[in-house]
Structure 1
Amino acid sequence: MSFLDILAQPDTWQLVGVLCLGIFVQAAAGFAGGLVIVPLLLWAGYSIPEAQTSLLVATIPQNLWGVVSFRDALDSKRMVWPGAARLLFLPLGVLTLQWMESFSMVTLRQIVGVAVLLATLATILFRPKPRDQVAPFWSYLVFPLSGFLQGLVGMGGPPMVLWVQAHDWDTRRMRGFLFSMYLISLAPGIAVLVWFFGSRVIPPALIAAAAIPILLAVTWVGLKVGTALGTQRLRRITMALLLLMGLAGLAAPWLSPA
C-alpha cells in the first residue's frame, strides 16, 4: 500500500484528528498532550506503540520551538542527569510494553486509564511548596520513572512536571527545562519503538509527519485560546476531560463492543 493510499483511508484522518486535539490541549493548557492522545488512539483501535510513535513525531516541532524560544533560560549542566536517566530507563519501559502486548485490548485500555487517572489526580492533589533545591532522592526517583513511563505508555511528562513545580523557577525556566527533556528523548524514543515493534509503527509516524503543517496551525490556535480563556479555566476543563478519559479506560470491559 502506497503512502497516498494510506492518506485516503478514513482511519488516517481519525488519527490526525486525535493528534490535533492532543496538540491543541498541550498548546492551550500547557500540558496533557500525551494523556489525551494515547488513550483516545487506543479507543480508535491503534496499539500503544503506534500511538506513542505518532505522538512523538507530532510533538517534534513544538519541542524544537520551545527549546529555541527558552534557550536563554536553560542550564545545560542541570539537564545531564535527568536526560540520561530518562534515556536509560526508556528501553525498559518499551520492553515491558512488548510483554504487555499479549494482553487484550480491553485490559490495555484499563491500564492506560489507570495511568491517566493517577497522573491527573497527582497533578490535582500535589501542591509542592517551591524551593531553591529539592532533595536528590526525588531526582533519582522522578527521571528514571519518567523514562520508564514514556516507554511503557507514552506518558513520561507528569512526574517531571511535578518535580519542576517543586522548584522556585520562573515560567521560562520551567518550560525550557521540560521542552528540553522531551526533545532529548524524541529520536531515541522513536528509534527504540521501531527496533522493538518493527515496521507497523512506521505508517502512524509518517501520517503524523505529514500532518505537521496542520498541527502547527492547531498549536497557534491553541496558544490563542489559552491566552483568551486563561490558564486556570483551561486547567479545570482539561482535568475534567482527563478524569473522564481515565474512568472510561477503567470501564473498558463494559464500554468496549463484545
Structure 2
Amino acid sequence: MFLAQNFWGELDDWLANCLDVLPQQFIAFATQEWSPDQWSPRVLISILILAGSAFVQATVGFAAALFGLPLLLWAGNSLVEAQVMIITAMLAQNFLSVWKLRRSIDLREVVVPAAIRISALPIGVAGLGFVMTWSAAAVNQLVGGIILFAVALQSLVGIEWKNANKPIWVAATFGGSGILQGLSGMSGPPMVLWVHGQRFSADRARAFLFSMYISNFGPQMALLTWRFGFSVWYSAGIALLSVPLVIVGALLGLRLGSWFGDRWLRPITYLCLIVLAVSSMLEPWLNRP
C-alpha cells in the first residue's frame, strides 16, 4: 500500500511539473553543442552491438535486449541510454519483420495484450528511476540477474499452456512484461512463454512478438522523456545511425530463422545469454585489480 501511494505521489509530482520542466529541457537539449569526437568509439561499438542484436532477435523472435543490453553497458552507456538505443534501433527491425510476416498476424490477438503491457510501463519506468541511483556495478548485476531469470523462464518453452488465454494469465503475462520493459527493456521471455505455450507456429509467434515490441515504443519513449528529460533523444539519434546495419542483420536473421527454426538456434542463444549474464554479475570481481 505504501509503495502504491509512493508511486502515485511521484506520478502526481511529475504531472505538476511537466509543463514547466519539459520546455526548459527541450530548449537545453536543442541549444547545447554536440561533441561527436568525444564519444565516437562508443557510438561505433554501440552501432555494431545493435546490428548484432537485430540479427539475434530476427532469428529467434526475442533476445535483442537480453543480448544487447549488457554489451551496451560494457561499452560505456547508462541503463537508460542502452534501453533507448535498443528500442529505437529495433523499431526498424520490428517493422521490417512484421511486414515480412504480415500473413501470420491477427491484429485481434495483439490489441488486448498490447494495452495491458502499455498500462504497466509506468511502473517499470518508476523502478528504472530508482535503479539509476545505483552504482554501475550494481546495475550490471541486476541486468545479469534478469537475464538468468529470463533464460530460466525460456527453458519452459515447449510446455503446453492450455489455459494461457484465461484473463488472469493474460494480465499476469503482459502486465509483468510491461513492468520489465519499463525497468530494463528485457521483456520478451514472458511473452515467448505465452505464445509457445499455445503452440503458435514459428512465424506466427515471431509476428505476434514483433507487433508487441512496436506497440510499446511511443508510450515508452514518452515516459522516458518525461522521467529523464530530452537527453534520451541523443541515444535515439545514435540508434538511428545503426538502422542500415540493423536492417541487414534483421534480413539475415529472418532467413536463418526460417531455414533452421528454433531447434538448433535457441540452445546456442541460451548459451551466449548465460555467459553474458554470469559475466555481468561477476563484473565487480572480474575487474578487481
Give 1:97 deviation, angstroms. Answer: 0.7
2:252 to 208, 217, 221: 221
Is 1:58 aligned to residue 84 of structure 2? no
- 8 A contact 2:162–2:198 mirrored in 1: yes
Structure 2 unaligned blocks of 5 or more: 1-31
Residue 180 of structure 2: aligned partner: 149
Q: What do you get for the CA RMSD once the two structures are aligned? A: 2.3
User: Superposed, which structure 2 residues align to 1:247-258 within 5 Å?
Assistant: 247-256=278-287
- Deviation string for 1:63-90 (max 9, x for gaps)? 1123333344433333232111111111
What is aligned with 1:69?
A: 100
| 1:48 lines up with 2:100 in the alignment | no
Q: TM-score, normalised by structure 1?
A: 0.90
Alignment correspondent of 1:199: 230
- Aligned position for 1:93: 124
Structure 1 residue 140 corresponds to structure 2 residue 175: no
CA contact (8 A) 1:93 1:150 kept: yes
| Partner in structure 2 of residue 174 of structure 1 | 205
- Which has the larger Rg? 2
Is 1:164 the counterpart of 2:195? The answer is: yes
Q: CA deviation at 1:228?
A: 5.7
1:30 aligns with 2:66: no
Moved more, 236-245 or 17-26: 17-26
Q: Is the 8 A contact 1:94 1:151 kept in 2?
A: yes
Alpha-carbon offset, residue 107 of structure 1: 0.7
Do 1:94 and 1:193's aligned partners in 2 also have CA atoms closer than 8 Å? yes
Q: Distance in 2 between matches of 1:161 and 1:45?
A: 29
Q: Residue 9 of structure 1 corresponds to which residue in structure 2? A: 40
Distance apart, 1:178 and its partner CA: 1.2
Within a 5 Å distance, the mapping from 1:99-110 to structure 2 comes to 99-110=130-141
Q: Are positions 1:83 and 2:114 aligned together?
A: yes
Cα 1:59–1:229 change in 2 (3 A) is same
Aligned residues between the structures: 258
In structure 2, do the counterparts of structure 1 residues 8 and 99 end up closer, same or farther at CA, with 3 Å as the change threshold? closer
Q: What is the identity percentage for the equivalent residue pairs of Structure 1 and Structure 2?
A: 36
2:158 and 2:148 map into 1 onto residues whose CA distance is 17
| Contact 2:52/2:246 (8 A) holds in 1 | no
For residue 59 of structure 1, give the secondary structure of its aligned residue in structure 2: helix
Q: Quick one: which of 114, 123, 130 aligns to 2:154?
A: 123
Distance, in Å, in 2 between the alignment partners of 1:171 and 1:13 is 33
Give unmatched runs, 5+ long, in structure 1: none
Name the SS for the 1:251 alignment partner: helix
CA contact (8 A) 2:55 2:252 kept: yes
1:175 Cα deviation after fit: 2.2
Structure 1 residues 39 and 12: CA distance shift in structure 2, 3 A: same
- Residue range with higher mean Cα deviation, 185-194 or 67-76: 67-76
Map Cα deviations across residues 36-70 of structure 1 (whole Å, 9 max, x no partner).
Answer: 11111112221111011010110111211233333
Q: Within the alignment, does 1:208 sit opposite 2:239 as a pair?
A: yes
Change (3 A) 1:227 1:171: closer
Structure 1 distance, partners of 2:50, 2:245, is: 10
